[in-house]
Each structure stands twice: as structure tokens, then as C-alpha cells.
Chains A and B, each alone.
Chain A
């Protein structure tokens, strides 16, 4: 077990703080992503599946509290939608948690969670990388875009189709969008299931789902998602804490690091063009998928080196993207300074 090699003291705490900083930079810059690297990293480090999922959820909860405090004044929360999402997500998390307990009893939890991660990270990683190569700005949430209004004509066709099903009760969302409550509950349940099963906030699935399936404008989707994660993450943490599966020696240093990193990441958004970094983000997700796949293959084939190798890939992937954000920001600041000096010299 890698955790054992590192010891349970300062070295491990420092590793979690550093990993938290990397994740925080990613979260602060992209507005999502990063937290879903925590659970696979903990699994690779040798923590039991339920501790990895429970601690991952508690970390997501803390991160969402901090992000929601920042977004509350921007008026980007649809509370009616948020409360409806909480109901569906709560049911999904409970079912997901029961699935983890059941799979653990069968001795299959690690394998199923790992395969789900490989599929999710690989799929989303391929999507983001493809969009980045196309250069059309899709695949993740743009901070500038998230602060503006989205034209009603931009609502995807599939969302218009879903909005056309008038299955009562209907609810009116901000911006006058009408949608069946059942559709909202189905989307919320599916993302809650993933949260409970994988220990993720689900934002990287829920935000695109709110936009593409329900037609919620991106700024409202971002704010409402964060508001919802506070409750779903809090409930998920509570359920896992009752199982004794929330390890504060993991969560506390991770959160301390990520809160600091998020400040750096969000400050970088005004300096660096997200499209320049997006391809690294996609590659990081693919790196995460490869790492988990290597770890599972190593377990099956009895290859000892697979476990440290997969942890190395996860850390290197996160470091690559966070490093690209920081280096690009420093470079942008220096260029600004040079431009100022040149202007002053003229």
C-alpha cells in the first residue's frame, strides 16, 4: 500500500495538501473538474473503496461550500430547480451508496468503481480533447460565458424536445423555461447515483445535463449546480460518515490545499485564455482513465509496479494542467509588465 510507504504522518499530509492545491487550481480555473481525481487516487493509494468514496464526497462538499459562498451574490442560483434537484439527487446517492455496500460485500466494489471511472473519465476526456482540437470552445464551462446571459436560441435541440413533453407537474425555471418536474428528477437521480457510487460531486455531468437536456442557461446551471452540491455532497458525506468512511486526515489537508489553489486558479482566469489550456485538461482526464485501467490490470495480472505507476500518472496529469495554468499566468503578467514598460519608455 502506497499510503503505508509514505507513512501516516507529515509526508502523507503534505502530499494531500499539495494534491489539494493542484485540484483547487483546476477547479478555480475551469469551474469544474479535478475533484473526481480524488477517489481514484485514494483507491490507488490503497484506501478501502468506501473510505475513498466517502472522503471524496466530504471533500466535494467542502469545496462546494466555498464555491457557493463566492457565487451567491452573482444571482446565478435557481432555488426552485435546486431544491427539485436535491430531491432526485438524494434518492440517487442513497441507491449509489447501497450499491457500493452491496458490491463491497461481493468483493467487487473496487473493480466496478474503477471500470466506471475509466468509462467516465475516458469518455469525457475524449470529448474535451476533441472539442479543444476543433477549437470551438465547447467541452467545459467558460467563466466569462458563465457570468453572461445565454440567448434562448442557443438552447440545444434535444432540450427543446424535452421541454416539449408536457408531463405534469410542469415547473417554470428562471428565464421562463418550462419543463416537466419528472425530467428534472430523472437527471438529478442519474447524477446522484454517480455521486453515491463514485464519490464525485457530479458537476461535470450535471452541468452539461442541465444545459443539453433541460435547456437551463449555462450561468444558472453553474450556480444551481454548486448550490445543489452543497446539499448532495453534505448528505453523501453524512451517509458515509455513518459508516465510519469519512477520513478527516484525508479531507482536512485536501480541502486546505484546494481552497488555496482555487484562489490561484480563479485569479488566472482573467489572465489566460481557457481554450489554450483545454487540451491539457482533456489529456488529464484521459491520463486519469489510463491510470485507473493500469491499476486494475496490474491487480488482475499481479503486477506490483502498476499501482505506483498509476498514482504517478494521476499526479503527473494534474500537475501538467495546473502547471500549464500557473506558467501561462506568470507569462501573461510578465508580458503585461513588458508592454507597460515599453509604453512608458515611448
Chain B
């Protein structure tokens, strides 16, 4: 899938999608890290 045509609107939409994905990943992985990291590191220490 090529994400854009020669139209500026389509190009903006493509770059906007990357921006939105980055922000979602930042928030989503942040929540996941807070929840799992302490348990995971403790589990590795106790192995």
C-alpha cells in the first residue's frame, strides 16, 4: 500500500496518520510499561 498520491491533502493525511500513531504508541506503551515493568523486573531478579 502506498500511502499517498500527489495531492497535498493526501500527503498531509499520510504524515498525520504517522503522527497520530506515534502519539497513541507513546501513551499506550507508557501505560503498559508502568503496569508491567516493575513485575517483569522483579520476576527476572527472582529467577
A→B interface (CB under 8 Å): 51, 58, 61-63, 65-66, 69-70, 234, 237-238, 241-249, 251-252, 255-256, 259-260, 263, 267, 330, 333-334, 336-337, 340
* Known contacts A237-B14, A259-B29, A334-B44: A251-B3 contact under CB 8 Å: yes
Q: Kindly identify which residue among A69, A241, A243, A263 contacts B15, using a CB–CB cutoff of 8 Å.
A: A241
Number of interface residues of B (CB under 8 A): 29
Are B6's CB and A242's CB within 8 A? yes
Q: Mark B12-24, 1 if CB is under 8 A from A, else 0.
A: 1011011101110
Q: How far is the CA of A107 from the CA of B12 in the complex (A)?
A: 29
Having A70-B26, A241-B10, one finds 20 other A-B pairs with CB under 8 Å, namely A51-B2, A61-B15, A241-B11, A241-B12, A241-B15, A242-B7, A242-B11, A244-B5, A246-B4, A248-B3, A249-B3, A255-B22, A255-B25, A260-B25, A267-B41, A330-B44, A333-B45, A334-B47, A336-B45, A340-B45
* Known contacts A69-B26, A242-B6, A246-B4: A333-B12 contact under CB 8 Å: no
Q: How far is the CA of A336 from the CA of B18 in the complex (A)?
A: 39
Q: Nearest Cβ distance between residue B3 and chain A, in whole angstroms?
A: 4
Q: Nearest Cβ distance between residue A237 and chain B, in whole angstroms?
A: 5
Are A260's CB and B29's CB within 8 A? yes
Are A65's CB and B26's CB within 8 A? yes
Are B21's CB and A255's CB within 8 A? yes
Residue of B nearest to A64 (CB): B22
Residue of A nearest to B11 (CB): A241
Q: Kindly identify which residue among A234, A241, A256, A336 contacts B21, using a CB–CB cutoff of 8 Å.
A: A256
Q: How far is the CA of A255 from the CA of B21 in the complex (A)?
A: 8
Q: How far is the CA of A256 from the CA of B21 in the complex (A)?
A: 8
Residue of B nearest to A236 (CB): B15
Chain A residues with Cβ below 8 Å from B46 are 337
Q: Quick one: which of B11, B22, B26 has the most chain A CB within 10 A?
A: B22
Are A65's CB and B11's CB within 8 A? no
Are A246's CB and B23's CB within 8 A? no
Are B22's CB and A248's CB within 8 A? no
* Known contacts A241-B14, A246-B4, A247-B2: A333-B19 contact under CB 8 Å: no
Chain B residues with Cβ below 8 Å from A267 are 33, 37, 41
* Known contacts A237-B15, A333-B41: A62-B2 contact under CB 8 Å: no
Residue of A nearest to B19 (CB): A65
Q: Nearest Cβ distance between residue B38 and chain A, in whole angstroms?
A: 11
Chain A residues with Cβ below 8 Å from B17 are 248, 252
Are B2's CB and A244's CB within 8 A? yes
Are B2's CB and A238's CB within 8 A? no
Are B18's CB and A242's CB within 8 A? no
Q: Nearest Cβ distance between residue A94 and chain B, in whole angstroms?
A: 15
Chain A residues with Cβ below 8 Å from B37 are 263, 267
Q: How far is the CA of A118 from the CA of B22 in the complex (A)?
A: 30
